[in-house]
């Protein structure tokens, strides 16, 4: 049996974030708790909505790879201010924190009891997600990732984390730096690729979303990076990122993410860039396990590929794309020492929640080989 789950309400279009107050009103929300970061706050993105929601409490202490303590601190403030809903306004980290705060406000369960798949009990308060980057797709997923140790991340996966409403406004992404646009864009493309090749829960609907996402993202990423004010390119990137999020919310990601997480946890490499760095080599590793699927994906991006060569052609494409977008293409280039590769491999093996979705089983030795190839 196939099953596809997603959010019930999506607003999409230039300027639609100005409807946030109306969405709150129609949902009976009186005092929302807005989760964001200082960068979003400083550049004024919230200004367009705050004048119409004067009762909101703003929490702007979210950082990349947010620690569990940030989630718990935000939830305490939200409860103390008697907020009745949560709005995630920002990148993936802000939206992930927003999901968990909404759940913590809605019940008595401790965050530490939620880690894993299907471990959230009870309900949550209303949740609205407003992405300001086109990459993570977090607005459309039931997954939240937090840093739980010095070098480790843990995920919460539960249907309660799906938002009630997503507001996709490409105008909010116009000011993104080229490097952030590039890295988050490739991140979204990884989501589409891994959803389409997922060994578990892959289905015709997630496949459709993944393929459309990849077409939109590959067709607009160059324009979005080189001409950041191109509203059509920005729209396609934002829509593509959400469609990819909807795809992998149902057909979960695999080894690219499993190997990317330690890069962020240990060396604080941004998530999108971490994915970009290991993607070409995971594609090559997986080639024999998903030949037809990679051929289908390659046909979306490339003009022509020989049968059975899709994975290798995609690997070459993403190496070239990263270079064209002026992103680092090796682990060495982002300051990772060669003697740290063994630790990365060991940490990647802790991500069994992700590795079980990969088309091909990945051993500790094979993880190390992939990192060595990426070095």
106: DSSP letter? H
Determine the Cα–Cα distance for residues 221 and 204; give it in Å rounded to an integer.
26
pLDDT of residue 308: 87
pLDDT of residue 281: 98
Residue at token pair 């919310």: 249
pLDDT of residue 217: 98
Q: Tell me the CB-side half-sphere exposure of residue 365, using CA atoms within 13 A.
A: 0
Determine how many CB atoms are found less than 10 A away from the CB of residue 118.
Answer: 12
* Maximum Cα interatomic distance, the chain, rounded to a whole number of Å: 61
Determine how many CB atoms are found less than 10 A away from the CB of residue 39.
Answer: 17
**pLDDT tens, N- to C-terminus, the chain (375 residues):** 888 999 999 999 999 999 999 999 999 999 999 999 999 999 899 988 888 898 999 999 999 889 999 999 999 999 999 999 999 999 999 999 999 999 999 888 999 999 999 999 989 999 999 999 999 999 999 999 998 887 778 889 999 999 999 999 999 999 899 999 999 999 999 999 999 999 999 999 999 999 999 999 999 999 999 999 999 999 999 999 999 999 999 999 999 999 999 999 899 999 999 999 999 999 999 999 999 999 999 999 998 778 889 999 999 999 999 999 999 999 999 999 999 999 999 999 999 999 999 999 999 999 999 999 999
Instruction: Specify the CATH class of 178-374 in words.
Output: mainly alpha
The CATH number, out of the four listed (3.30.450.20, 3.40.190.10, 3.90.320.10, 3.40.50.1970), of the domain defined by the range 9-173: 3.40.50.1970
Alpha-carbon distances, residue 340 vs 17, 44, 265, 344, 371 (angstroms): 43, 39, 13, 6, 10
Alpha-carbon distances, residue 362 vs 42, 108, 224 (angstroms): 42, 38, 35
pLDDT of residue 33: 98
Determine the Cα–Cα distance for residues 95 and 56; give it in Å rounded to an integer.
17
Going through the chain in order, the beta strands assigned E by DSSP cover 9-12, 32-35, 57-59, 85-90, 116-117, 127-131, 143-147, 153-157, 165-168
For residues 175, 233, 168 and 40, what is the CA-based torsion angle, rounded to 10 degrees? -10
Determine the Cα–Cα distance for residues 188 and 214; give it in Å rounded to an integer.
8
Length of the chain: 375
> Which residues does residue 127 pair with via DSSP β-bridges, in sequence order?
86
Domain boundaries, the chain: 9-173, 178-374
Alpha-carbon distances, residue 58 vs 54, 71, 78, 237 (angstroms): 10, 14, 9, 27
Residue at token pair 């100005």: 18
H helix intervals, 142-230: 178-196, 204-226
pLDDT of residue 65: 86
Alpha-carbon distances, residue 277 vs 70, 187, 210, 273 (angstroms): 28, 10, 21, 6
Q: With contact defined as beta carbons under 8 Å apart, do 200 and 251 qualify?
A: yes
- With vertex at residue 199, the alpha carbon angle to CA 194 and CA 200, rounded to the nearest 5 degrees, is 105
pLDDT of residue 261: 92
Alpha-carbon distances, residue 88 vs 28, 132, 202 (angstroms): 17, 10, 28
Determine the Cα–Cα distance for residues 50 and 36; give it in Å rounded to an integer.
13
Q: With contact defined as beta carbons under 8 Å apart, do 137 and 244 qualify?
A: yes
């Amino acid at each position: 049996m196939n099953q596809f789950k997603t959010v019930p309400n999506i607003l999409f279009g230039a300027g639609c974030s100005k409807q946030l107050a109306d969405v709150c009103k129609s949902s009976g929300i009186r005092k929302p708790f807005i989760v964001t970061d200082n960068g979003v706050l400083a550049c004024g993105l919230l200004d367009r909505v705050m004048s119409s929601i004067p009762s909101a409490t703003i929490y702007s202490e979210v950082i990349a790879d947010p620690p569990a303590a940030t989630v718990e601190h935000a939830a305490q403030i939200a409860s103390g201010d008697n907020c009745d809903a949560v709005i995630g306004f920002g990148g993936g980290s802000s939206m992930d924190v927003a999901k968990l705060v909404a759940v913590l406000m809605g019940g008595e369960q401790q965050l530490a009891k939620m880690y894993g798949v299907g471990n959230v009990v009870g309900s949550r308060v209303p949740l609205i997600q407003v992405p300001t980057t086109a990459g993570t797709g977090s607005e459309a997923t039931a997954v939240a990732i937090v840093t739980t140790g010095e070098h480790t991340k843990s995920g919460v996966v539960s249907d309660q984390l799906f938002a009630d409403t997503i507001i996709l406004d490409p105008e909010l992404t116009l000011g993104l730096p080229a490097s952030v646009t590039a890295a988050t864009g490739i991140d979204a493309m990884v989501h589409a690729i891994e959803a389409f090749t997922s060994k578990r829960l892959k289905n015709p609907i997630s496949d459709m979303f993944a393929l459309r996402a990849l077409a939109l993202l590959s067709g607009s990423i160059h324009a979005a990076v080189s001409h950041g004010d191109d509203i059509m390119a920005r729209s396609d990137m934002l829509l593509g990122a959400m469609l990819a999020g909807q795809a992998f919310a149902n057909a979960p990601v695999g080894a690219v993410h499993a190997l990317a997480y330690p890069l962020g946890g240990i060396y604080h490499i941004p998530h999108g860039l971490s994915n970009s760095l290991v993607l070409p080599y995971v594609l090559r590793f997986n080639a024999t396990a998903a030949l037809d699927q990679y051929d289908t994906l390659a046909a979306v991006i490339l003009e022509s590929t020989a049968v059975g060569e899709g994975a290798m052609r995609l690997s070459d494409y993403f190496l070239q794309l990263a270079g064209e977008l002026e992103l680092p293409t090796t682990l060495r280039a982002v300051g990772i020492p060669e003697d740290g590769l063994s630790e990365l491999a060991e940490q990647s093996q802790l991500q069994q929640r992700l590795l079980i979705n990969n088309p091909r089983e990945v051993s500790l030795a094979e993880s190390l080989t992939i990192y060595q190839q990426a070095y």
